[in-house]
Amino acid sequence: MDLKVSNGPGLGDERTTSLLLLGFLQSCPHSCFQRELEALGHELPGRLFHDEELQTDGNRYSHFPLAAETDSERQEEAVRDVARQLAEIGDRLEGSIRPGMVAGLASHFSVRSLSEEDRRQCLAAALEQLMQTCPADMDHEKTRLLLTMLLAKKIADHSPALLRDVFRTTVTFINQNLLACVRNLVRNEMD
């Protein structure tokens, strides 16, 4: 059976991307934004990670219909695995992000009057600068995805209060620009 991230009993594109970014950020245990991340995880639609939530009968909480539960759980696990793998790779690339770039992005995200589109453009500009410093032999789209999530991590680490805004902007940016990459990574992990 060929499962697609966006079709059938799948998680849906925004949910998948949110799960991927949340899993990526949760794989950064020494970050300054862990309290904010935990709160965000509880606020996201569908309670993306609910492993710790047990019902009184000992079963896991699930909002999926019973028939789709196995596929959805398998897909969630694949997304979490991809997030962990990307976080491991990100640990090696994190040093390529200059503190000045992070401070500038955090400053832009702090401006309340800045539109969501303006924030995405700031993120895109920073991403293009970073892409110029990456080795040419790395997969272009996967690297773009990884660096986008690393930028979100670094901004949230710099200014934890910006986590929600950064998270929302990053999910939207990924869905608009890198969704095919996300789908392929999850599909490959499930195969």
For the residues of the chain, what is the DSSP string, one character each?
A: ----TTSTTS--HHHHHHHHHHHHHHT-TT-TTHHHHHHHHHHSTT-S--TT-B-TTSPBP--S-HHHHHHHHHHHHHHHHHHHHHHHHHHHHGGGS-HHHHHHHHHHHH-TTS-HHHHHHHHHHHHHHHHTTS-TTS-HHHHHHHHHHHHHHHHHHH-GGGHHHHHHHHHHHHHHHSHHHHHHHHHHHH-
Its pTM stands at: 0.81
Please give the domain boundaries of the chain with CATH numbers for all domains: 13-190 (1.10.437)
pLDDT for 68 equals 52
pLDDT for 83 equals 96
Mean pLDDT, the chain cut into blocks of 10 residues (191 residues total): 39 88 89 90 63 39 50 89 94 89 96 95 96 85 96 95 96 96 94 87
